[in-house]
Amino acid sequence: MAKVPADLKYTREHEWAKAEGTTVRVGITEYAQEQLGDVVFVELPAVGAKVAQMQGFGVVESVKAVSDLFAPLDGAVALVNEALRDAPELVNQDPYGRGWMIVITPSRPAQLDALMTAKQYEDFLAGGAS
Amino acid sequence: MRHRLFPRDGAVKQRGGARRSVSLYHGVVVNEALRRTPLYAAHLAAGARMVPFGGWEMPVQYSSILEEHRRVRRAVGLFDVSHMGEFEVAGPGAIGALQYLTTNDAAALDVGQVQYSLLCSPAGGIVDDLTVSRLDDDRFMLTVNASNIETDWAWVTGHSRGDARWRNISAETALLAVQGPRAEPLVADLADCDVKSLGYYRFRDGAVAGLRALISRTGYTGEDGFELYVAAPDAERLWRTLLDRGAPAGIAPVGLGARDTLRLEMRYVLYGNDIDQTTNPLEAGLGWVVKPAKGDFIGRDAIEKMRAAGIPRKLVGFEMVDRAVPRHGCRIVKEGRAVGVVTSGTYGPSVDRYIGIGYVETPLSAVGSEIQVEVRGVPQTARVVKTPFHPSNVKKS
């Protein structure tokens, strides 16, 4: 079963969200990178761009597929992982660490509480993730 | 995540009931009557991710597409391509039938030689690309694309002329490809005949691992290697023996995902993506297998007229300058005007670039020409480059 760190929150679109003081770091889960296969390209927004919960903020491409990325909460992009430009494989190698994608300054931080816990995400995966 | 998949699957025939297949991408359940090769169980045992391809359930990858691709270029990889079709044509009329049906000159083949060729329609469109192997003076084998087996069979038997006996041996024939710089010592070790001296696009009848095989020095990767035609019941044993005896050389199974990145780096066309009935050999860069001087064949007149009139568009290779992944169907534009379309695109692991091939208006087809590829509606700069993208390492002569 794919790794699901206990200290993160999760979405049904297989993103993870990590509270870091006043900001929230976002990436895709181990399950998502396994399903995708080799990531060869990541398209991320510019710093300052607005994101809205469950709206697309970018795209992750593997050799065979193109997948949209969905923001777990409303806010503005504070940081973008520039390392993914030349090393998109970081998403496969370390999806919860060096494969992080954006950091958001949330406009409604309470949205984080409504996301799935690790246990809920595990159950979601076990139930077929649909 | 919601996935959009590339490349498009070939013509998949929908038939009622039958086998449901869960595709690679979560949540997408495909209800098709998919065929399986004799190695289906072996693929599952090796951890393959199976996907629909041309009406077959095939392994797209076992570990990682990029890793499998690199393994073929650096060591040796093993492919199951048993889904492809094989026809035999024999008799005093065989050569005449072949000459009429195909564009290349089959009469120029020695016994033991292979040629790449095309089946064309009267309008000069491409029905299929294939190889023709001369088994004897009056006996030939055609190797055709998996997605076209039924249509090609109807085509060749429907248009055959003279005293030629056709047999569709696809179901009883398995095909394994061993490709990479370490392929020769491995196959030589297991073969009962000399394969080191076997030239490129030549074949020999012999045995590999004690199993009767037609050993052909051909492939779809740009590396040295062999395609081994064996009886379907022998496929699994040959597969396991190659994996076993090739282990010290680093052999592993390679799926269709890496097969696609390998061939694209060599600018080899894929039927259904780059060529089909709406494309002609001249614009596709396949004029070199069209030999009008050999005599009449289906499509010859139409192709000659096209040659005389000039070709308005050409299939070219290009490299992205802006960072974006070109994909089948992406429009090619120049200063806001649509000038072409991408037919295949990917990340090329051996060239470490985003590359693609596509049709562009002839005036824009020269090497160095700057074009734009529309990815998600945004024009991204690309440049026409020389192909192949990666140097060929096939056996010289």
Residue B382 tokens read as 């690309």
Directed axis angle between helix B149-159 and helix B94-101, to 10°? 120
pLDDT at A82 over 50: yes
Measured between beta carbons, which residues in chain A are less than 8 angstroms from residue B261?
63
The question of ipTM being above 0.85 is answered as yes
Secondary structure (3-state) at A15: strand
Size of chain B, expressed as the number of residues it contains: 397
Instruction: Tell me the residues of chain B between 345 and 374 that have a Cβ less than 8 Å away from chain A.
Output: 346-347, 354
Residue B332 tokens read as 């090619």
Average pLDDT, integer, range A85-111 = 97
By Cβ distance, the residue of B49, B324, B346 closest to A63 is B346
> What CA–CA distance (Å, rounded) separates B65 from B183?
19
Q: Is B293 exposed, middle or buried (0-12, 13-18, 19+ CB in 10 A)?
A: exposed
**Which tens digits make up the pLDDT trace of B301-357?**
999 999 999 999 999 999 999 999 999 999 999 999 999 999 999 999 999 999 999
Average pLDDT, integer, range B111-139 = 98
What per-residue confidence (pLDDT) applies to B33? Answer: 82
What per-residue confidence (pLDDT) applies to B4? Answer: 59
Contact (CB, 8 A) for B39 and B254: no
Average pLDDT, integer, range A88-98 = 98
Measured between beta carbons, which residues in chain B are less than 8 angstroms from residue A27?
none
> What CA–CA distance (Å, rounded) separates B275 from B283?
10
- Whole-number Cα distances in Å, A83 to A18, A44, B170, B283, B297: 19, 11, 49, 40, 56
pLDDT at B19 over 80: no
Contact (CB, 8 A) for A63 and B29: no
pTM of the model: 0.93
pLDDT at B24 over 60: no
**What is the phi/psi pair of residue B58, to 5°?**
-125, 155
Residue burial B132-156, b: 16+ Cβ < 10 Å; e: rest: bbbbeebbbbbbbbbbbbebbbebb
pLDDT band at B26 (very low <50, low <70, confident <90, very high): very low
List A105's β-bridge partners, or say none: A76
Q: Please, what is the Cα angle at A80 between A79 and A84, to 5 degrees?
A: 155
What per-residue confidence (pLDDT) applies to A2? Answer: 79
What per-residue confidence (pLDDT) applies to B21? Answer: 36
pLDDT at B232 over 50: yes
Directed axis angle between helix B256-265 and helix B65-74, to 10°? 60
Q: Which of B321, B330, B1 is nearest to A58 (CA)?
A: B1
Contact (CB, 8 A) for B91 and A67: no
pLDDT band at A120 (very low <50, low <70, confident <90, very high): very high
Average pLDDT, integer, range B232-257 = 98
**What is the phi/psi pair of residue A12, to 5°?**
-70, -15
Pairing of strands B252-253, B77-80: parallel
- Residues of chain A whose beta carbon is less than 8 angstroms from a beta carbon of chain B are 13-14, 28, 32, 35-38, 40-41, 59-69, 85, 89, 92, 129-130
> What single letter denotes the amino acid at residue B252?
A
pLDDT band at B397 (very low <50, low <70, confident <90, very high): low
pLDDT at A130 over 80: no
List A67's β-bridge partners, or say none: A60, B3
> What CA–CA distance (Å, rounded) separates B167 from B89?
6
> What CA–CA distance (Å, rounded) separates B325 from B380?
9
> What CA–CA distance (Å, rounded) separates A69 from B193?
55
DSSP state of A46: P
Q: How far is A18 from chain B (nearest CA, A)?
A: 19
Secondary structure (3-state) at A118: helix
By Cβ distance, the residue of A38, A64, A130 closest to B5 is A64
> What CA–CA distance (Å, rounded) separates B292 from B211?
40
Residue of chain B with shortest Cα separation from A127? B27
Residue of chain B with shortest Cα separation from A54? B1
Average pLDDT, integer, range B93-120 = 98
Within 10 A of B386 (CB to CB), how many other CB atoms are there? 11
CB of B261 within 8 Å of a chain A CB? The answer is yes
The three-state (H, E, C) secondary structure of chain B, written as one string:
CCEEECCCCCCCCCCCCCCEEECCCCCCEEECCCECCCCHHHHHHCCCEEEEECCEEEEEECCCHHHHHHHHHHCCEEEECCCCEEEEEECCCHHHHHHHHECCCHHHCCCCEEEEEEEECCCCCEEEEEEEEEEECCEEEEEECHHHHHHHHHHHHHHCCCCCEEEECCCCEEEEEEECCCHHHHHHHHECCCCCCCCCCEEEEEEECCEEEEEECCCCCCCCEEEEEEEHHHHHHHHHHHHHHCHHHCCEECCHHHHHHHHHHCCCCCECCCECCCCCCCCCCCHHHCCHHHCCCCCHHHHHHHHHHCCCEEEEEEEECCCCCCCCCCEEEECCEEEEEEEEEEEECCCCEEEEEEEEEHHHCCCCCEEEEEECCEEEEEEEECCCCCCCCCCCC
> What CA–CA distance (Å, rounded) separates B120 from B108?
19
**Which tens digits make up the pLDDT trace of B273-309?**
999 999 999 999 999 999 999 999 999 999 999 999 9
Q: How far is B7 from chain A (nearest CA, A)?
A: 7
Secondary structure (3-state) at A53: coil
What per-residue confidence (pLDDT) applies to A46? Answer: 97
pLDDT at A129 over 70: yes
CB of B377 within 8 Å of a chain A CB? The answer is no
CB pairs under 8 A between A and B: 71
Secondary structure (3-state) at A86: helix
Instruction: Give the mutation candidate from A10, A31, A66, A92 for the B interface (greatest B CB count, under 10 A).
Output: A66
By Cβ distance, the residue of A35, A63, A68 closest to B26 is A35
By Cβ distance, the residue of B3, B257, B261 closest to A67 is B3
pLDDT at B56 over 70: yes
pLDDT band at B161 (very low <50, low <70, confident <90, very high): confident
CB of B208 within 8 Å of a chain A CB? The answer is no
> What CA–CA distance (Å, rounded) separates B292 from B120?
13
pLDDT band at B5 (very low <50, low <70, confident <90, very high): low
